[in-house]
Structure 1
């Protein structure tokens, strides 16, 4: 254990060990072995980080937009210069397959987020003018909140950290970021590199368990904005904790997204769109946006099932560093237990179409990894647990339907409302579904096509708000009489 890499928090531009002296083990999900140690921080570290961010805020927010943009572009260079290292750390920490890594090699993927934020800095300070009468003018100006708390999930740590932090500081805020305890090393290393570029205190990183770090962070009276990507249950706890200070929140939460295939669809596109791209190879199904309820019109049901099974058979599960691997392991033992528990529930309440196996026999060369194969069930009952609860693994359910009305009713019969997919050639149907489906995102004849120029957020238990530069500012009104 003494030879393991030891990562530290980043507070006020310095690398700092946790005040308690305690550390957490970081587990390689492909082997089940400890490969690094990260700070088990507590309230003391949170207080220091928030204090550093609070003190850095006046100077950072006073910096002209062009000055902030200059810093942001330098941060983008981190991913161009250190892409190989950050890719390796991400793969070691979360086990996603190399070809789907959130830090692609060669560099360019996440650098774009920081370059984009640099280009948006002027938007964050642009106000409006409204003539009220001949002698009176109303004006608005946009101002940063102050200290922003950013809480990042394990399934896309560097991507989420970059998205949240870049927009927050572009708007003139300062940030205290909590990495996921399951996958902190890549973000903490990124924080080390950030500290070489940004002024002290602008971005601080404190790792640890949610109860020890997240809770005091969201309760802190100096935190004026919270952005969190995670589960609805966590969001509810944060919202209750933030209520005392009336802290503004952004929540991007879970999903149980319908992916609907009509008989007139192009099945050559639809079959991979509801199988590989949408569910299985996106972090082994650990994606809130995955279309895990697949609605198929009955005339094409058998053909679609055959096509989906053929695609699933081509998926290669294994070592994330193997270029032939197309699906890696789940993140941890608790997540493995949760997902495999749902598989056993599914075997009892629905028809198993394919898959259903899990454990070391799937990848004998890595017996300690958290391996689950792509699994598909079929049922006519959307009320089943496997249809209503977020599994967060490579497990989906097919639900046959006959009519448009039935498809809409099934699609909307969920407490979630993050995303939906529709596969059809009927333009009138497309317009009806975009209107009637209750979700924050609708993809038509594609899935998981996202662009940062477009908002990404949910409704119902999938949250509210989205990480946009305007969300990190407040609008002030002034009226001037002459």
Structure 2
């Protein structure tokens, strides 16, 4: 992308991507890196005219070259997209790091590889999932065959978050395209770069113009709301806050559009005294502090069986104090900044609330002293509390920062009841070496995914999603195909 010199560095222009080409918008907005607060890009904000163009292009491609492309050829193109991401790995990595501030080690091992893997997995899945066929008796004895065909839903609106920008965008785009749909994507205004870069890869891979479109902007009153309300959008998939999901669901009701939501969480971990202690500490460190706590599947409530409670809190605190905060390119960096100054204010408000409610701040609880230009970034300390009641807002509301509250428990039933005492139901972790207990507790936890003696270990064929206020529907494997296709029954009288 072309750039303008500003502040001694190069500020890139990030365009919308409409009908196979970069497209301007109605205005420009600044994208600041959370590492030091400097402006790294100007982003073209889409207005109604750009949104209309993108949806119209998607509709044409659906009826034209993409809709007529045989399944095998469509899947081959998606494999080329995966290869294209890998060929431009360093560009995707640099853009992702600049937008999010996350450590290079995290983005290079998870975000970019998963972005490519999503296209391969779903291209292969759609070719290998069978539909139904029944032999049906008829009064004349000749019979009939009833079989099902998968057909694309149509134009899909994809709204993706800022915490795992490429990974979660492609988690939706890949199955949508594999099923023959076309998409209009609205990435977070905080992380615009990789979505537009993916448009270039699509073009290079031979994806027809109009199949993949990107509109940049904000939510209410901007590109996000326009996309959800557009009458020619047939389905909407969204990952983000529960409050935003509620607004999108209301908009989707006009026209009776299908929705798939992965929403907020206040995820628990239950640590039993018979756990592998070192593994439980290492796993909880990851689930609490990975990506500066900005992971929808992360742990914010930790329940520890009383005999090991004090030891566990001490070990977790020592490990948290050992996290090195620093620039993403430093190999020793263990945690980066929050996504923005606005989000930091939200997280720090919870830090202050915990203090005012009388929490014991085991470690952290404030803003770290960062050297030089890093002082302008959105940094917070990794934080651990004890001593708060279960009904404290700190223990009820999603914070989405590098923090957790640790509380003791005495019985298995108590731990399960407290873990389930939330309006959310996205993920949970259980740490135990008792196999029977692992099965028993996992079955009773109200969550879409339960990890036992692990965290963030994913098989992309499995169902993924939340219960209660944490979402609607499931993605992954055949479950993604159920959302991105309509099943048509064909009855043939013999």
| Residue 231 of structure 2 corresponds to residue 221 of structure 1 | yes
1:469 and 1:363, CA in 2 relative to 1: closer, same or farther beyond 3 A?
farther
Q: What is the aligned partner in structure 1 of residue 35 from structure 2?
A: 30
Q: Which residue of 8, 13, 16 maps to 1:6?
A: 13
Are 1:471 and 2:483 an aligned pair?
A: yes
Q: Which residue of 1 aligns with 2:493?
A: 481
Distance 1:243 1:131 in 2: 37
Q: Within 5 Å, give how 1:351-390 maps onto structure 2.
A: 351-359=360-368, 361-379=369-387, 381-390=389-398
1:61 to 63, 67, 80: 67
2:212 to 168, 179, 203: 203
Which deviates the most, 132-141 or 433-442? 132-141
Partner of 2:98: 92
Aligned to 2:256: 246
Q: Is the 8 A contact 2:288 2:299 kept in 1?
A: yes
1:411 to 419, 426, 439: 419
**Where does structure 1 lack aligned partners over 5 or more consecutive residues?**
none
- Larger mean Cα displacement after TM superposition, 424-433 or 241-250: 424-433
Are the aligned partners of 2:265 and 2:470 in contact in 1 as well (CA < 8 Å)?
Answer: yes
Q: Does 1:336 align with 2:344?
A: yes
Kindly indicate whether the alpha-carbon contact (under 8 Å) linking 2:430 and 2:442 is maintained by their aligned counterparts in 1: no
Relative to structure 1, is the Cα distance of residues 103 and 445 closer, same or farther in structure 2, using a 3 angstrom cutoff?
A: closer
1:104 shift after superposition: 5.7
* Unaligned residue ranges in structure 2 (runs of 5+): 6-10
Shift of 1:94: 0.6
Residues of 2 paired with 1:383 and 1:450: CA distance?
31
CA positional deviation for 1:420 = 0.5
Q: Does 1:315 align with 2:327?
A: no
Which residue of 1 is the match for residue 85 of structure 2? 79
Summarize the Cα distance change of 1:129–1:160 in structure 2 as closer, same or farther, 3 Å threshold. Answer: same
State the match for 2:8 in structure 1. none
Pair 1:462-2:474 in alignment: no
| Runs (4+) off by over 4 Å | 102-105
**Separation in 1, partners of 2:491, 2:481:** 25
> Cα distance, 1:103 vs. partner?
6.5
1:75-96 CA distance string (max 9 Å, x none): 0112221111110111000111
SS in 2 for 1:233: helix
Distance (Å, rounded) in 2 between the aligned partners of 1:119 and 1:343: 46
Normalising by structure 1, we get a TM-score of: 0.96
On the 8 A contact 1:103/1:158 being kept in 2, the answer is no
C-alpha distance in structure 2 between counterparts of 1:363 and 1:434, whole Å: 44
Tell me how far apart the structure 1 counterparts of residues 399 and 414 of structure 2 sit (CA, whole Å). 24
C-alpha separation in 2, matches of 1:7 and 1:442: 39
Q: Deviations along 1:211-244, whole A, 9 cap, x unmatched?
A: 2111111111211111100000010000000101
Q: CA deviation at 1:427?
A: 1.7
Q: Distance in 1 between matches of 2:14 and 2:74?
A: 28
**CA RMSD, 1 decimal:** 1.6
